[in-house]
Structure 1
């Protein structure tokens, strides 16, 4: 068995290289040959993924977090309709949100799935905005949540807590925007704080944004939070960790396969924790698009 490791050295407060060395040692100890490809600049993991010939390997494994997975998936699918070998993720990022839905919580968990060749097929989302067309595995945020993701970048030293700090900073200038959502032909128009289009359940580490989302059901869960004041946001925040926020009157949950979102003014986007692009967006789900170790 031959595995290629695509390594983000800056993941998890620059723990990527150490994690890759641990993974390589564990895999080689199990009789699996592996080769490391280390990114040397922002966007480098996508470039590596684009250049790799998947059929030369028995599996491709990203070493990093949700952002690294985002880059690698988009690199692998940049010039191909599918990936012919399983993709893995070694969780060493800031949040490591997506991988939790595969039941993986540690480097050792991830390696065990690779050694056992245990895989499952997952859905991917595809969205188009002013920045282009991209795949996402975790979620696509719009509005308040995206502003938080932008702010969280400067707090990355604090790991998953960076998102909590960013929330409180964003509250200072809290604002909402009128949005129009079209979900499988159904129209919803409202003054919204944020919208999350979710393929998986978690965001920002342990925030259970879409508690009932499934990564293989052929649908995207849409979490819509209508206009609320600061006091309500402060009440909502702690409940997101348990998924109880969906019980608030201002929170609505929809499911669909095709989603269009427009807004009165352009809103920032945060696909899989990355920060680029603005509304309007069109998003679709692609069932069982990718095979992953998990």
Structure 2
């Protein structure tokens, strides 16, 4: 006997509810709670609906492909149940009708049989993306009957070129098996197209973690594991995502994740030679730079929208409780390409209503568009995917290394937001100009850009991603779960 359950394990012997408690049109009571004997002769088996990849009637048997828990990951399994030979009682659904109802209930609002353009970066992080694809990802996608077009990337910038030329009508998602660098290239490839606004709204970007930080997957899939993330993509829904325009010199690029200058940027970009260590390289970089108490002087002009931690908590709570605030259409401004810049570029005059200040003793300047930056690093606990705002965090450098270390360690415990040395604001645009330093590190989504002034402006709901539930998989600043 097999019982179909929700992810929390509650039995679904009768009708199966979809997302948000919605009832499917079909009843999957399935012939008296599926009283069929499994082909291997074993007894009752419980499969969460979320884990069901596909089902079909084959050779007078019901065949169910599903993702089974295996230690900290998942493994593809298949159960075959012989259909009853006697005629069905009047009113019982046909096997075909049951299968259709089962698939509908298992996928809910997610699209079955997604069409994916898969870009594998074999050089991301410690390597191993090809192995993860073959062992942990491809089997789930094939069992879910997804349509796959797979490319193994051979050089930097190739994902940008492929995304710029992709047929957006042919695929539901461009998927990166990589770190966060390949999604950055994908967004910017779509942004280079003549029909950029349409492309960014039409095709969703998705991510299977194979790098060092894997922030995209942590926020959207809720996991740093390739198999768990593969299931999250199979069952995932399309979610709007704010994107940020970065202008520097005469260049304009898109950022989906973060921008940083100071300790965080140096701990990332300054440890490229230690990529083989995975996420541990960040920790070593942080420890080295915190002990030096190095400062990074700059001038900052910023368009502040929500200031004060209590106000930010209220803003966060309002958006989480009212999901309609998170559902937005793409920002196109009637243009074919990228939206026009509301505040101009870094080469224009600073708008009069921005706040401008010089800082001499800052150690960390960090702006985020997602909550998690790496495993257990929830720097931006108040981040929301489509509130049209970036989250700005700053920390001083001219204090004791113990205080800075304690603040950084509090990221893992969820207490970073409330730490008194952490400045936290929600902003819509800013310009930063480094001072008294000839060269250094500026990171945009983990990619190094020239050490010179740049300006950032957010576009609400410009991009699309595949996410597990249509929200970030993170806790808010006061412990509220986004569910």
From 33, 41, 50, give the equivalent of 2:155.
Answer: 41
Aligned residue number for residue 392 of structure 2? 222
From 411, 414, 424, give the equivalent of 1:240.
Answer: 411
List gaps (5 residues or longer) in structure 2. Answer: 1-113, 304-353, 468-483
- 245 and 3 in structure 1: CA distance in 2 versus 1, 3 angstrom threshold: closer
Task: Return the offset for 1:252.
Answer: 0.7
**1:126 and 1:284 in contact (8 A); partners too:** yes
Determine whether 1:150 maps to 2:269. yes
CA distance in 1, matches of 2:450, 2:376: 25
Aligned-partner SS, 1:241: helix
Aligned residue number for residue 135 of structure 1? 254
From 180, 186, 194, give the equivalent of 2:355.
Answer: 186
CA distance in 2, matches of 1:78, 1:153: 27
Task: Return the offset for 1:35.
Answer: 1.3
Determine whether 1:14 maps to 2:134. no
Aligned residue number for residue 91 of structure 1? 209
Deviation digits for residues 26-85 of structure 1 (CA, Å, limit 9, x no counterpart)? 212211120111111123222322232222222211111111211111112222224222
Q: Which has the higher contact order (CA 8 A, sep 6+)?
A: 1
**1:131 and 1:277 in contact (8 A); partners too:** no
**2:221 and 2:233 in contact (8 A); partners too:** no
List gaps (5 residues or longer) in structure 1. Answer: none
Aligned-partner SS, 2:398: coil
Task: Return the offset for 1:113.
Answer: 3.7
Q: Give the structure with the higher percent helix.
A: 1
Aligned-partner SS, 1:291: strand
CA distance in 1, matches of 2:285, 2:425: 26
From 421, 425, 430, give the equivalent of 1:250.
Answer: 421
**1:47 and 1:75 in contact (8 A); partners too:** yes
Determine whether 1:275 maps to 2:393. no
Task: Return the offset for 1:117.
Answer: 5.2
Deviation digits for residues 149-201 of structure 1 (CA, Å, limit 9, x no counterpart)? 12221222221111001112224544213322222112343221121111011
**2:394 and 2:423 in contact (8 A); partners too:** yes
CA distance in 1, matches of 2:209, 2:450: 25
CA distance in 1, matches of 2:233, 2:434: 43
Aligned residue number for residue 241 of structure 2? 122
For the pair shown, which has the larger CA radius of gyration, 1 or 2? 2
CA distance in 1, matches of 2:452, 2:375: 25
- 29 and 246 in structure 1: CA distance in 2 versus 1, 3 angstrom threshold: closer
Task: Return the offset for 1:6.
Answer: 0.9
Structure 1 vs Structure 2 CA RMSD:
2.1
Aligned residue number for residue 175 of structure 1? 294
- 234 and 50 in structure 1: CA distance in 2 versus 1, 3 angstrom threshold: same
CA distance in 2, matches of 1:75, 1:275: 17
